[in-house]
Structure 1
């Protein structure tokens, strides 16, 4: 089963996204900030880091950079509601996908599926 680490500071959004991904068959661990995600990345294995970009203490871009050091095989996807932040994410983490809010849960699930379908096809 694909394991996702979700970092989202908004509690309602975190619950909403976790449920949608779990209903789609993913194993989701959710945290409310990047600094809480780091120890999990150090001791557990995740297939995907799904992170909001704008969060307190450590933003999603810094979290993604730390993730690439700690767990280089973990794929990264960002979610954000800020267009300017999307441009920064594309520049500083070009391998990561960015999904802009608002989005439909179906779009989120499809993007996650694309990340792993692309990876499977790349190995063939």
Structure 2
């Protein structure tokens, strides 16, 4: 019997230190993480590969996280979306424009991030089993 692969996460975060920090924490928690520093770099990956979750900062150069989530919905509709942001107003916009996406506001503890990501996958499993 083969074990199912670890859930795949595409992490889009323009701040290098934060990206490394999140990638390390999520990998340690058992997720397969691919990280990029901008939305325009994430789109081709979403088109070519399969991801279970897009974890994206909202405020990024070239393409913000909300635009990225909209592209994700077009090219990879099964991929769940979760936003991270340090801006309350941006968080409200994300909630309005992507009502099914979770929004986690910075600063947050890594444990909270991992718990939220696990919750997204649990909800996905429950929906598949119904």
CA RMSD of aligned residues (A): 0.5
2:104 to 96, 99, 113: 99
Gaps of 5+ in 2: 1-5
Q: What CA distance in whole angstroms lies between the structure 2 residues aligned with 1:77 and 1:55? A: 15
Q: What CA distance in whole angstroms lies between the structure 2 residues aligned with 1:16 and 1:54? A: 18
Q: Name the residue aligned to 1:24.
A: 29
1:14 aligns with 2:31: no
- The DSSP-based 3-state class of the residue aligned with 2:47 is helix
Q: What CA distance in whole angstroms lies between the structure 2 residues aligned with 1:94 and 1:56? A: 23
* TM-score (norm. length: structure 2): 0.94
1:72 to 68, 77, 84: 77
Gaps of 5+ in 1: none
* TM-score (norm. length: structure 1): 0.99
Structure 1 ranges of 4+ moved more than 2 A? none
1:27-42 matches, within 5 Å, as 27-42=32-47
2:90 to 85, 91, 97: 85
How many equivalent residue pairs? 124
Q: What CA distance in whole angstroms lies between the structure 2 residues aligned with 1:75 and 1:123? A: 13
